[in-house]
Amino acid sequence: MSIDPAITQTLQPYAYANGDPISKSDPTGCGVCDRTYTSANGYFKVHFWRTRLSGRVGWDFRLGVPFQAWLSSWWMGINEVEVTMPHAAVNYWPIATPYGPHLRWIGYDFHASLRAYTFIRGMGSGVIRTGDQLSLSWLVVGGSFWADVEAGFSISCSVPRPGSGTAGPYGPYMNQ
């Protein structure tokens, strides 16, 4: 997190976030991990929140309705996909993936949360803190007799204060 580069014009160090850089967004243009993000084509949605007591960042990752319709169409015939997280990073440092492969039907809510993490290549470990930059990538793989599909979605967002956002339907409750 840094002060607004336009501070000489605005005279406000956090004007880019309405004076609240932790719960709004950061100067890189990334949003905050406390809302729903949808890919431009509507194929992917991910909803974030942060629990109040443990400080875990939770997420619900779903395939959007347009992608589900395309996958399950008569010419594709895909009703089940495997979702993995091949890349995850905290403050741009790669961490061990917090989400292993899940093979589920295309309407499933692929959900998980993250609090403690381990850096890749023996660089130590850490715990999610307010203001950290979280980067996550999901990979969706599916196949049928007629076709194979591989698609991905990545997002980077700033970790908000504990208790931010609204917990998704399958994730941890806000008071945990």
What six digits make up the tokens of 168? 């998704």
- Residue 98: is it exposed, middle or buried by C-beta count within 10 angstroms (0-12/13-18/19+)? middle
If residue 139 lies in a helix (H) or strand (E), which one and from where to where?
strand 133-143
User: What is d(CA 119, CA 95) in angstroms, rounded to the nearest whole number?
Assistant: 4
pTM of the entire structure?
Answer: 0.79
For the cut 80, the answer to whether the pLDDT of residue 99 exceeds it is: yes
For residue 143, what is the DSSP state?
Answer: E
The confidence band for 80, taking pLDDT boundaries of 50, 70 and 90, is: very high
If residue 40 lies in a helix (H) or strand (E), which one and from where to where?
none
pLDDT in the model for residue 22: 54
25-36 per-position pLDDT tens digit: 455 557 899 998
